[in-house]
Amino acid sequence: MSEPGSLLRSLSGRSTARNYHSHVINEIGAGVISGRYAIGTTLPNDAELMEEFEVSRTVLREALKTLEAKGLLEARPKVGTKVAKKSRWSLYDPQVLAWHLEAPVDAEFLSGLHEVRRSLEPQAAAEVARRRTADQIRLMLYWIHQMETSLGSLQNFALADFELHRIIADAAHNPFVRALYGLIELAHAFAYKTQIDERDPCVLDKILESHKLLVNRIEYGDEAGARQAMLDTIEQDRVIAAAVR
């Protein structure tokens, strides 16, 4: 899940790995995040993992190296490959973030996710309101229109919502805000996941209206209003995500 939007597209059904290498990475990575492979424990030896996933030693070792680079695993001589502690996990990595969506609820993780958004996105919205361009406003209004015409398609509506936030992040010209793409998408995925089985049209209407207000405040150069409107959309995501948890 490295392309922006791929996590939201997967909400309608679990995406399948494209090859054996991806399959091993996804299965072990998701297993670490979910706790199936507990922190501090040693993974089964190569022979067992090769048999479990029906892959060659080369494929397995490459997959383990990838997971080690993401901070989830650490190889120790004469000990084996252990599951690393959470402080080492690369939480800005899109795949690491995506694996949290199917894991048991981690209250600390969710709280931190929304806290980071509250810390940076509202300031980004205020900055965009201060120096927005006509082209940026046209793009934002385009995605608002896409949300309006996608009220009957949850996936398309969610993608349009996320793209609007991406436009604002880009327009802020702050590389640290752009680095939030994965967090922003995951927060949207948590919120929209609750609507898959219990679709409530009123929820989408409220989301649409809050985003219309956000773009309106940016368009009119209202920095304080844009900051508050962004805070409101983030809180909306948090409340929706928590509603059925």
Amino acid found at 120: L
User: Using one digit for the tens of pLDDT, what is the confidence trace for 204-216?
Assistant: 999 999 999 999 9
In 3D space, the residue among 91, 82, 114 whose CA is nearest the CA of residue 184 turns out to be 114
Residue 2 has pLDDT above 70, yes or no: no
Q: Name the band, by pLDDT with cuts 50, 70 and 90, for residue 105.
A: confident
**In the structure encoding, which two tokens stand for residue 116, read together?**
């980071």
CB atoms within 10 A of CB 157: 22
The burial of 73, by beta-carbon neighbours within 10 Å (0-12 exposed, 13-18 middle, 19 or more buried), is given as buried
**In the structure encoding, which two tokens stand for residue 4, read together?**
């922006």
Output the CA torsion sign for 108, 5, 199, 30. Answer: negative
CA pair distance 9, 159, nearest whole angstrom: 8
User: Using one digit for the tens of pLDDT, what is the confidence trace for 174-224?
Assistant: 999 999 999 999 999 999 998 886 777 899 999 999 999 999 999 999 999
What are the strands, taking DSSP E only, across 51-135?
A: 73-76, 80-83
| Size (the chain), residues | 245
Cα atoms in the 13 Å half-sphere on the side-chain side of 121: 27
DSSP run (H or E) holding 202: helix 201-219
CA pair distance 245, 243, nearest whole angstrom: 6
pTM to 2 decimal places: 0.88
pLDDT on residue 4: 84
pLDDT on residue 199: 73
In 3D space, the residue among 185, 168, 61 whose CA is nearest the CA of residue 120 turns out to be 168
Return the exposure string of 80-112: e unless at least 16 CB atoms fall within 10 Å of the residue's CB, then b.
ebbbbeeeebebebbbbbbbbbeeeeeeeebee
3-state secondary structure of 176: helix
